[in-house]
Structure 1
Amino acid sequence: MQLILGGARSGKSRFAQQQAESWQRQTGGQLRYLATAEAGDAEMHARIQRHQQDRGAPWQTLEEPLNLASELKQNQSRDTCVLVDCLTLWVSNCMHHGQWESQKASLLQAIDEANEKGVTPNWIFVSNEVGSGIVPLGPLSREFVDASGWLHQALAERAKTVTLVVAGLPVTLKA
């Protein structure tokens, strides 16, 4: 399991895709892209289309804005790599639908169960590092930053590798 963090336009998604494709070349396994975004407007729709075009043919796209744990449980084969992009959109979706605490607990439980069973799935999580700036003024923004930060800490504890991508350059935090 890998956690890849970075700011907006840092190159984190590109780095994650390169990691997954490198794994696929070595193993011949399947690549699945688990998208958490919802195309709520034309700009977001265009972003999603661009990401799909960038990935190309070897990728199967799955879309799940809320029930991430359920989708991951269905895709925990050793011959499949699942790239989840992006967790901060997922956090926002869960908070918007009033499901944050239950969905977070389900995700962490799915990871722990896979590890306990010795399944060690090939999951790559991509997320925006939103805690490097100042504390936001509004309570909802502070709640979002806190939720994202606590999720990142929980995932980093469970992940085999953690990478921070800055200006397109990966910096290994945990190997």
Structure 2
Amino acid sequence: MQLPPITLVLGGTASGKSAFAERLVRVSRLAKVYLATAEAHDSETAERIAIHRKRRSGQGWRTVEAPRDLARALAQIDAEEVALVDCMTLWLSNLMLSDTDLDEERDLLSDVLDQLPAPVVLVSNDVGGGLVPDSAPARALQRELGRLNQQLAAQADLVVQVTAGLPLILKGTAPTSDTDRASLW
């Protein structure tokens, strides 16, 4: 199955977005590269990282840790590979915590995505439909993530919303393969 150049998979917490994105990448039959943006600052995050690693274990994934310098990591992807970035929310949060120029990083990411010789699947949280956070930093993350998701959705060829493990196409056309379509959609 051939993936479009840029796919954005959105969903809420525990929506199944990462598992869906991983299945999408697996059925592409390209060499799989997992660009991990999470850092284990606490036991809960460490547990989530372990769950994601276990799900990919033994499936031939090459993992690249890219908590901040995502554009550089993406620029290293070969044409015979497919990249999965999990997730844009944590990448943005890492940048915000390190006082990085967000506009500069978003522009750099956009440029790299436009030039990438391989397909990429980006995973991001959809946080705009929930409660308004009660702290200024959380509201800033929600606002900046909304901006990032809009930018990525505009640039993406395929945008999928995952809710309760079920994918809904918001933009583009689902990749097709007679044998794999049923397992994805």
User: How far apart are residue 67 of structure 1 and its match?
Assistant: 0.5
Q: Secondary structure at the match of 2:160?
A: strand
CA-to-aligned-CA distance 1:46-92 (integer Å, 9 cap, x gap): 221221111122101111100000000111x2210110001101110
Given that 1:66 and 1:103 are in contact with CA atoms closer than 8 Å, whether structure 2 keeps it comes out as: no
Whether 1:127 aligns to 2:132 is no
Q: In structure 2, what is the equivalent of residue 108 of structure 1?
A: 110
Q: Following the alignment from structure 2 to structure 1, what is the Cα–Cα distance between the partners of residues 24 and 107?
A: 27
Q: In structure 2, what is the equivalent of residue 80 of structure 1?
A: 81
Q: Following the alignment from structure 1 to structure 2, what is the Cα–Cα distance between the partners of residues 50 and 149?
A: 26
Whether 1:164 aligns to 2:161 is yes
Structure 2 letter corresponding to 1:65: P
TM-score normalized with structure 1 length: 0.89
Which one of the candidate residues 16, 25, 31 is aligned to 2:21? Answer: 16
User: How far apart are residue 45 of structure 1 and its match?
Assistant: 1.6
Q: Following the alignment from structure 2 to structure 1, what is the Cα–Cα distance between the partners of residues 51 and 147?
A: 30
Q: In structure 2, what is the equivalent of residue 143 of structure 1?
A: 140
Q: Following the alignment from structure 2 to structure 1, what is the Cα–Cα distance between the partners of residues 113 and 104?
A: 14
Q: In structure 1, what is the equivalent of residue 39 of structure 2?
A: 38
Q: Following the alignment from structure 1 to structure 2, what is the Cα–Cα distance between the partners of residues 171 and 102?
A: 31
Q: Following the alignment from structure 1 to structure 2, what is the Cα–Cα distance between the partners of residues 83 and 54?
A: 14
Structure richer in helix, relative to its length: 1
Q: Following the alignment from structure 1 to structure 2, what is the Cα–Cα distance between the partners of residues 37 and 134?
A: 23
The gaps in structure 2 that reach 5 residues or longer are 1-5, 173-185
Q: Following the alignment from structure 2 to structure 1, what is the Cα–Cα distance between the partners of residues 133 and 42?
A: 25
Q: In structure 1, what is the equivalent of residue 91 of structure 2?
A: 90
Q: Following the alignment from structure 2 to structure 1, what is the Cα–Cα distance between the partners of residues 18 and 52?
A: 9
User: How far apart are residue 93 of structure 1 and its match?
Assistant: 0.3
Aligned-CA RMSD value = 1.2
Displacement over 6 Å in runs of 4+: none
The gaps in structure 1 that reach 5 residues or longer are none
Q: Following the alignment from structure 1 to structure 2, what is the Cα–Cα distance between the partners of residues 101 and 80?
A: 28
